[in-house]
Amino acid sequence: MYKIKGKEYPCCTSVTMGIIGGKWKTVILFHLITGPLRYSELRKAMIGVTERTLSLQLQQLQEDGVVERKVYTTKPPLKVEYSLTDFGKTLIPLLQSIADWGDYVVDTYSD
């Protein structure tokens, strides 16, 4: 049994899936590989995600220390950017492998 930030996981793969699992978390993380994005930029890039879902997923990724939310208040309008933390950047090889495998499946098995 593994215990991370008060949550218990039965194996190491469940730790990974506990942090990046779900329909939209990997999509958010994949878009943030290239650099910081504003909420509206993420929303435009992720067709089909609701505002509530995106907001909740970003909040969970922040709580897990994978995504950072930075607010710029020096001049109006308020600007908020999301980016990968150093810890989040350790996921880049995994996310790229997931994307590469998805490309393989599309190329090999699509109708």
**pLDDT at residue 73 above 90?**
no
pLDDT at 36: 98
pLDDT at 77: 82
The pLDDT confidence band at residue 7, using thresholds 50, 70 and 90, is: confident
Q: How far is CA 67 from CA 10, 36, 46, in A?
A: 24, 10, 17
Phi and psi torsions of 9, nearest 5°: -130, 140
Q: Which fold has domain 2-109?
A: Arc Repressor Mutant, subunit A (1.10.10)
Domain locations along the chain:
2-109
Q: Among 1-10, 24-33, 61-70, 94-103, which is the least confidently predicted range?
A: 1-10
The pLDDT confidence band at residue 76, using thresholds 50, 70 and 90, is: confident
